[in-house]
Amino acid sequence: MDEPTTGDDRGTAVRSRTPATRRWARVPGRGGWGDDARGRSGWRRGRIVAVLAGIVAVLLVFHDVVPNTVGRLGSLLETFLPWLGLAVPVLLGMSLFRRSFVALLALSLPVAAWLGVFGGLLPPGDDPPYDITAVTHNVSDENRDPAGTARALMAVKPDLIALVELTPPALPGYARVLAPAYPHHAVWGTVGLWSRFPLSDVRPVEIRPTGVGADWNRGLRATARLSRGDVAVYVAHLPSLRLGLPHGFGSARRDESAALLGAAVAAEQLAEVVLLGDLNGTVDDRGLDPVTSRLGTPESGLAFSWPATLPVARIDQILARSATVTEVWSLPATGSDHLPIAARIQF
């Protein structure tokens, strides 16, 4: 039979366990946020993750430093710029795995950068004031339901509707549905404008890039007579992009067409201008600078429009001069590979 433990013995047992417990907490590599097996603290681990967080922040804020000379990598980055925010949860997971204080602290940089660049586009709490509503939609030349698409666009009761990629066989289907509510319309080539307001001074806008045939007509301009005065309305469909080897992000024709469109807007005599259409680029893409430098971009709303099945970028735009696009949003899918885009405009 064991002898009973005396008070002194119990005290000894307690004292012998306490140092062992403390030593266990200090053993390197045993987990927690203390020193690892190599003796590095949570402030010394994860420096590579911290550097990656800094790079993401720099790319978000200074994306124009990425050159466009090779494969137009700069424009490619700017097309998907909001999605750089997805690096934050990935880096957060890496920071937690490395149990790194410095990496977690560095994560505040890309978070602040993303909010600084895109935070203002998040939907406001209150509906902003506006004068008119406009809708633009690349309806797709393969759309099998023009009438249904037209009805879907009318659901938000817009004052202006711009359609691009119109085909002669499909045009009557759109016109028949839109005509009662939008008695004024103009069509040139594959772009069209339907309006509640009278239209005048309708003319084509020459945005055809070099080497494209004479049947390529994708720009028009009209004067919309609002009760408050005349507004110049442009509808445009810039050339498509090509992504692949060996040329990378193929935007040369799009960029050339954007320069022509920008020159037309710059020469516009009316002070107030609204541009609607598929520009095949985001407002951050430097290839659209000739246009976006002359027109204001939406104040709120990300409104990704392409591709319709899983939208990752807004390449369909509603921009304005001497007016504010207070809000932009995407509408439900139609028979097109693009989502329609709607916007509120305040003059």
Burial, 24: exposed, middle or buried (Cβ in 10 Å; 0-12, 13-18, 19+)? exposed
Q: Are strands 191-195 and 160-164 parallel, antiparallel or unpaired?
A: antiparallel
147 and 276 in a single domain? The answer is yes
Q: How many domains does the chain have?
A: 2
- pLDDT for 30 equals 47
300 touches 264 (CB < 8 A): no
Question: Is 14 among the domain residues?
Answer: no
198 touches 225 (CB < 8 A): yes
223 and 190 in a single domain? The answer is yes
Question: Is 8 among the domain residues?
Answer: no
Please give the C-alpha separations between residue 64 and each of 102, 119, 327, in angstroms, as whole numbers.
28, 19, 26
268 and 339 in a single domain? The answer is yes
63 and 159 in a single domain? The answer is no
Question: Is 21 among the domain residues?
Answer: no
Among residues 120, 102, 92, 119, the alpha carbon closest in space to that of 33 is found at 102
Q: 10-residue block means of pLDDT along the chain (347 residues)?
A: 49 45 43 63 80 96 90 89 96 90 94 93 78 98 97 98 98 97 98 98 97 94 97 97 67 95 98 98 96 95 95 97 96 98 97
How far is Cα 137 from Cα 166, in angstroms, rounded to an integer? Answer: 10
Residues β-bridged to residue 276: 235, 318
- pLDDT for 124 equals 66
Residue 342's domain comprises: 132-346
b/e map 28-44, b = 16+ CB within 10 Å: eeeeeeebbeeebebee
How far is Cα 255 from Cα 47, in angstroms, rounded to an integer? Answer: 40
Task: Please spell the DSSP secondary structure of 152-180, one letter per residue.
Answer: HHHTT--SEEEEES--TTTHHHHHHHHTT
Q: Render pLDDT for 141-169 as a digit per residue (tens, 0 to 9).
A: 999 999 999 999 999 999 999 999 999 99
86 and 232 in a single domain? The answer is no
Q: Are strands 273-278 and 229-237 parallel, antiparallel or unpaired?
A: parallel
Q: Render pLDDT for 261-317 as a digit per residue (tens, 0 to 9).
A: 999 999 999 999 999 999 999 999 999 999 999 999 998 899 999 999 999 999 999
How far is Cα 172 from Cα 135, in angstroms, rounded to an integer? Answer: 19
328 touches 298 (CB < 8 A): yes
Question: Is 20 among the domain residues?
Answer: no
3 Cβ contact list (under 8 Å, min separation 6): none
- pLDDT for 11 equals 46
Give the largest Cα separation in the chain, rounded. Answer: 112
238 Cβ contact list (under 8 Å, min separation 6): 207, 218, 254, 257, 258, 261, 277, 278, 279, 280, 281
126 touches 114 (CB < 8 A): no
- pLDDT for 12 equals 44
- Residue ending a domain, choose from 121, 143, 160: 121
330 and 211 in a single domain? The answer is yes
Average pLDDT over the chain, rounded to an integer: 89
